[in-house]
Amino acid sequence: MKGKLNIIYTCIFLILNIEYSFGQYPPPPGHAGTTAIYRDSSVYYRWATHCSVIRGYIDIADTNLTYDSINRASFGDPDSIIGYPSGHALSLGNAGSATLTFDTVISDHDGWDFAVFGNGFEDNYLKMAFVEVSSDGEHFVRFPSVSLTQTQVQISNFDTIDTRKIYNLAGKYRVFYGTPFDLYELKDSAGIDIHHITTIRVVDVVGDIQDPYARYDSQGHKINDCFPTPYNTSGFALDGVGLVHNAPSSADDNLHIPQVSILPNPCSHQARFFAGTSALLHYQIVDQLGQVVYQSSFSVSTSVDTDDLRPGIYFVNFTNPVSLLQIIKKLVKY
């Protein structure tokens, strides 16, 4: 028995290490499990109608450095961020910010509520930003974010970032693919009403890992991205913000089984299931004895409390209730 337990623990250890070595969050566009939403998707129903910007330095570590005699980012026009993402981005500069409003109030609903577009030209050449929301235009709450990128060596202009190590930071996906956000994640936040959001603010993360200038994710990790970028294009490049509804992207969504992802996996207290479609899916969490320990339904995404699950390996059966097609994913609880 002891030998069997050692084998089981070794397998769990290997799964844990494989998962964390390759990243645990959704992959780039075109890969199974991505949450990227292309700009032409039918899920978008509104775009920003006004944008104001506070430009940051082109190099926050050397504020005397200038580009064309200006020490702050200057590329792009706030008016270009209004409406459909065009590729004509607005550079925020180090720690700069853009504040956007819409012709409607934003309310939380099942699944994603809006997506932020950056201007990364490749899947792994990324500049990122925090995302905040407000119900009155004055008091903002920031989305919890995670950056698992190494912080021993500064990422330069020509280095790359694994998007699978990034969660809830704008710019996670390349140009024309929006990074989605779910207001439900802020349901316990003070000072805002997730059913009455009027303003979205995007704030450059800087990317410098030096202590005086570093910015941190919600878990206390320094955020490392391309720095410095001492040009007028410095900082995060914003290309638009679109509001998302949860209508199926096509009639086929009601018949097919999507590529579902489970994040984080392995998990401890909570796991999130991502389907990338609003078509209804049933799921069952099954233990190694074949017993159903939990079941429910969702569309687009859902959070599952795993505190009551014992550590070990489980299987999650996802079923389309219309076509009865099924996909099975492994879930590791530690």
pLDDT score of 44 more than 60: yes
* Average pLDDT rounded to a whole number, residues 4-13: 44
Nearest one of 300, 297, 292, 302 to 270, comparing CA atoms:
302
Cα–Cα distance measured from residue 51 to residue 73, given in angstroms and rounded to the nearest whole number: 16
Regarding predicted confidence, which is higher, 251 or 127?
Answer: 127
Position 23 scores a pLDDT of 59
Cα–Cα distance measured from residue 165 to residue 277, given in angstroms and rounded to the nearest whole number: 23
pLDDT score of 16 more than 60: no
46-92 pLDDT, tens digit each: 999 999 999 999 999 999 999 999 999 999 999 999 999 999 999 99
Residue 123's identity, in one-letter code, is D
Position 21 scores a pLDDT of 40
Structural domain boundaries of the chain? 24-247, 252-333
Cα–Cα distance measured from residue 106 to residue 111, given in angstroms and rounded to the nearest whole number: 13
* Average pLDDT rounded to a whole number, residues 318-334: 85
Position 253 scores a pLDDT of 58
- 3-class DSSP state for residue 22? helix
The answer to whether the Cα torsion of 290, 9, 331, 327 is positive or negative is: negative
pLDDT score of 314 more than 60: yes
According to DSSP, the β-strands at 240-244 and 114-117 are antiparallel
CA atoms within 13 A on the CB side of 95: 11
Regarding predicted confidence, which is higher, 33 or 330?
Answer: 330
Position 167 scores a pLDDT of 95
Q: Rg of the chain over CA atoms, in angstroms? A: 21
Other Cβ atoms within 10 Å of 8 Cβ, number: 13
Tokens matching residue 31: 């890969």
Return the CATH architecture of domain 24-247: Sandwich (2.60)
Position 279 scores a pLDDT of 73
Of 144-153, 158-167, 313-322, the range with the lowest mean pLDDT is 313-322
242 with 46: CB under 8 angstroms?
yes
Q: Kindly provide the b/e burial profile for residues 142-174, where b requires at least 16 CB atoms within 10 angstroms of the residue's own CB.
A: ebebbbbbeeeeebeeeeebbbbbbbbbbbbbb
Mean pLDDT score across all residues of the chain: 87
pLDDT score of 18 more than 80: no
Start-to-end CA span in the chain (Å) = 20
Position 100 scores a pLDDT of 97
pLDDT score of 7 more than 50: no
User: Please, which residues bridge with residue 179 across strands?
Assistant: 116
Confidence of residue 276 (pLDDT cuts 50, 70, 90): low
Yes or no: domain 252-333 corresponds to CATH 3.10.520.10: no
pLDDT score of 247 more than 60: no
- Judge if pTM exceeds 0.75: no
| CA angle (31 as vertex; 81, 181 as ends), nearest 5 | 40
